[in-house]
Amino acid sequence: MKIGKVLVTADEIAAKLDEMGKAITNDYRGKDLLMVGILKGAFVVMADLSRRVDLPLEFDFMAVSSYGASTKTSGVVRILKDLDEEIEGRDVLIVEDIIDSGLTLNYLMKNLLVRKPASLEVAALLIKDGVDRRPLDVKYVGFHIPREFVIGYGLDYAGKYRNLPYVAVLGDED
């Protein structure tokens, strides 16, 4: 596989994360913010977004699996690692790299709401347009992208390319 067309440059990502960080800082002032990154993909967004939030927040992580080494969703979400923290009464912000079918997020939100957080919102760097999905309430969205399989900035294909500083389409087989 090769790296295809660049959809979002590193500079565009940085500028957008500045905006999102400011919005989150304003919205969560005086609250008990717990940012929950969804591993592995969201670790890059989590690191870069959280450093733009000027508040005494805390981190936690969950790992879920919805894809194998494939570019299509399996429809099955499995929790591989649960939160370390209790979230009852806390202001939880889920940080996601990308929303495609919305299945992962839908499952996660239902699962976390049962634990009675004071609030539960979502920040996602990317959301795919033109996908027939259940309505999702995503408060902070970075970029809308076409329905293509993308890599970089935390997003992988078969475990690779997460370290690219930009988001690109996965290229064709050589």
Phi and psi, residue 13, nearest 5°? -65, -45
Interaction mask 83-112, ligand IMP, x per CB under 6 A: -------------xxxxxxxxxx-------
> Judged by CB, which is closer to Mg ion: 37, or 41?
41
Question: How would DSSP label each residue in 118-151?
Answer: SEEEEEEEEEESS--------SEEEEEE-SS-EE
Q: E-assigned strands of the chain?
A: 3-8, 33-39, 58-65, 78-81, 91-99, 119-128, 140-145, 150-151, 167-170
User: Binding of Mg ion at residue 41 (CB under 5 A)?
Assistant: yes
Residue 25 contact among Mg ion, ligand IMP, none, beta carbon within 5 to 8 Å by kind: none
Q: Which is nearer to Mg ion, 28 or 61 (CB)?
A: 61
Tokens representing 110 are 């239902």
- State the binding string over 112-131 for Mg ion (x if CB under 5 A, else -): --------------------
The one catalytic residue among 91, 97, 100, 156: 100
In this structure, what token pair is assigned to residue 70? 């494939």
Q: What angle do CA 157, 129, 162 make, to 5 degrees?
A: 20
* 100 part of the active site: yes
Token pair 């591993």: residue:
39
Which x/- pattern, by CB under 6 A, does the window 48-87 give for ligand IMP? Answer: ------------------xx-----x--------------
Name which of 10 and 77 has its Cβ closer to ligand IMP.
77
- Is 106 in a helix, a strand, or coil? helix
Binding site for ligand IMP (CB under 6 A): 38, 41, 66-67, 73, 96-105, 149-150, 155-156
Binding site for Mg ion (CB under 5 A): 41
